[in-house]
Structure 1
């Protein structure tokens, strides 16, 4: 998962739901490429060295690692197998609890191992073992569905209009080239879906001989956790989902409602603080004004990326502005100030955030997994017109050129026409009904997976507790010490009500106020 100069947990969430990149530093193959067709074998775990990550991860120094070998496509007996990277991180407690916690990352497609520092800092391995597995197709897996072609396009795209025809043409060329390369390797793109992902985790528990464990997932990982709970409930002691992407609701048009809800909550929090309200009296109007202005007259600037280097040509238009906000750049507490500066002719905060995209970690994000899931599970049953209408519903005064693209998933329908995977909407868009103890955590500032969607999920989980953390965006637990305490209390005694007393005193922090 790429991290771009915002606070730690918000940075970790930049590409979750992509909306909602074997790469340099990947682990060496424990036995060459994926196994050729033959008799179907039982899934097995083989110990091996921990992956070599692009940035050192201290927890991996003492972790027990290896690969889970599973069928690529379980509907094709005798087909080839794939290998998924696994790390077992010991509890820090001298007498840890018996049941570990297994983590399901966001994305889909982000580097799961890159999330380990946030999990450890949040105390996930304080009282019990933490198990991390890269979802099929991710970095450190064999095969890895990275698309360096798309990474190179993303780096170049900062100098193009977000929704420009040239950007569309270049992106579709990158997707076409990536798909052709993956298919030439014998990869079955239809096998990279949430149902197979869930079965991988069920096989992991069995292969590790773990009687029961706890599940924690965020963003797309909540979609996966709910699917796993529905299809493989055996052995699940408790499940915690953070920043919920409900499997029965997630579609491409759905993204607009989530984005609007999060932005609306940020602006409402500013309006509730006298200093912020006085300084920035009409943020909704200001945002609409700037989206319209930049879409009609995009700015082209030479901008030095935040981490330094040579200036890059950077285009800031209405679509880019909206998508920077969805990516938490700038952070919510700085958003009113950044919009005010933009309205007064100073686009520096947004321009620098856009320029940061010119520095890409090539080959670390599994765009192939993103496209296989988005095109099979989120796109079917709706059209580009539906995306546009969903955008018009929440932002009726915005230009259609901005509203035509699902936030953080530009040109996804043309991409899906190229990716060409089978429709799995009917299989995947199913609610999870369960009596397994559950914790549902949401943040009011989440502009990727709107907090209100958690209610529908919680209603179907008869033994669930819902927690709403004010002033926090996507992926709540790493950003909120209170949420960390609630999660620890829940895993300690999932059949009892978790201690949520710290939530009552929470309120959004102060916003950045700049002089007039």
Structure 2
């Protein structure tokens, strides 16, 4: 179990080790894989004996990279914090990176988002990655949420922990709920932040979340007199810009936000939607009304620069192989392209079909999954979790990736759950909200009676208000 700390960009705090598990538990005597483990000690000199184990999002995200956010959120204040890389994720062996897809994404900033020619390039890059991974002997069928949950159960047993507290965000909530369903022993409490219910997640589901998050941002602007006056009827503005850009994409040359050489970018309707649905770090929700207003007035510079940032991805770091192994087995099957398009039309009537035919953040996924070629696991995975384990459900109103209402939806079968809605926050709530951090700390101390009092006084922060060029 003890081992070297991952060679991350920032020093890794705490004790490090490696968990070795079977790649495919259905095939006894097969190859094994290695998962990096970090134990961050509690700040308290007398920590509780039930640690917190963290489950990263993605799938394919960097769990080690999340440690500074978790420490800053005081997750390890009174308990040790345990972080393990998921199978196929960064710092695991093997790491299911796809530099072929990273290089495609770097080129894609200068391509129409949803053009068939762009899709063919993505599918070709995915096939090249899949062929390389399978030639190395990797069994992509084994990189799924069932095996991932079994890895965490194996970790708890290897560490000799009787009870621990599980905290997952985004895909980590899908994993956490699956883990609770399949391995309930040893779980004192579960916290799910930005919820992906395993029984409902699919490509059409992404359009419901996008609509909910965008609606919430626009409603919050409407509720602030200065924002309402300066940016009236944002729904109409967004629809007009999506239609205009899809009919006649803008082609610009701009410098990325971090500096460097100018980059050629294309802004079309699909690009605009995906900039809004992304996690909010590049385009904060507070800036969305101003960015749309600038675009409508013929100034696309802000959005173009954000798009240009994609021209310099971290090649070979994100585990796209894990993303598509999970998505193609668990999220895509059962719903065809027509179902996805219909969900988009319900969410955003009047938008072009070329935009609505692609799930936000997962364009051309049906085509990609044909070449990724992993078996359908929905019968195993698309199941609600029913449990009396105390559960804290945290969602943010501005989350356009995993809409806020999906938290209470997951809580329907969790009778001892507490749902907390944080206004004005997007994806991955706890690191962004001091109130959510206090609620989490209270829940870990008293899972059946957390103190949620701070939520009542919350409201979205003021939106960015730029000068009106017609009045200056």
TM range (shorter): over 0.9
Determine which of 254, 257, 264 is the counterpart of 1:313: 264
Q: Deviations over 1:28-51 (max 9, x none)?
A: xxxxxxxxxxxxxxxxxx211101
Deviation digits for residues 257-301 of structure 1 (CA, Å, limit 9, x no counterpart): 000000000000000111111111100000000000000110110
Structure 1 partner of 2:147? 196
Aligned residue among 304, 315, 318 for 1:365: 318
SS of residue paired to 1:396 = coil
Residues 426-465 of structure 1: matches in 2 within 5 Å? 426-465=379-418
Q: Distance in 2 between matches of 1:51 and 1:440?
A: 31
- Which of 85, 97, 106 is the aligned partner of 2:48? 97
Distance (whole Å) between structure 2 residues aligned to residue 149 and residue 488 of structure 1: 42
Which residue is equivalent to 2:239? 288
Q: Aligned pair 1:510/2:454, yes or no?
A: no
Q: Which residue in 2 is equivalent to 1:10?
A: none
Aligned residue pair count: 466
Aligned to 2:26: 75
Q: 1:153-183: per-residue Cα shift (whole Å, max 9, x none)?
A: 0011000000122211211111010000000
Of 364, 367, 372, the residue aligned with 1:414 is: 367
Report what 2:208 is aligned to.
Answer: 257
Whole-angstrom distance in 2 between the partners of 1:457 and 1:322: 26
Q: Residue in 2 aligned with 1:142? A: 93
CA distance in 2, matches of 1:165, 1:256: 20
1:440–1:454 Cα contact (<8 Å) kept:
yes
Question: Is the CA contact 1:150–1:174 (under 8 Å) kept in the aligned structure 2?
Answer: yes
> What TM-score results when the alignment is normalised by the length of structure 2?
0.98
CA RMSD of aligned residues (A): 0.7
Cross-structure match for 1:34: none
TM-score, normalised via structure 1 length: 0.90
Structure 1 Cα separation of the partners of residues 117 and 84 of structure 2? 38
Q: Does structure 1 residue 56 correspond to structure 2 residue 10?
A: yes
Contact 1:262 1:447 in 2 (8 A): yes
Which segments of structure 1 move beyond 2 Å, counting only runs of 4 or more?
Answer: none
Shift, 1:436, TM fit: 0.5
Secondary structure of the structure 2 residue equivalent to 1:47: coil
SS across alignment from 1:214: strand
* Structure 1 equivalent of residue 424 of structure 2: 471
Pairing of 1:18-417 with structure 2 (within 5 A) = 46-53=1-8, 55-57=9-11, 60-61=12-13, 63-327=14-278, 328=280, 329-417=282-370
The answer for unaligned runs of 5 or more in structure 1 is 1-45
Show structure 2 runs of 5+ residues with no match: none
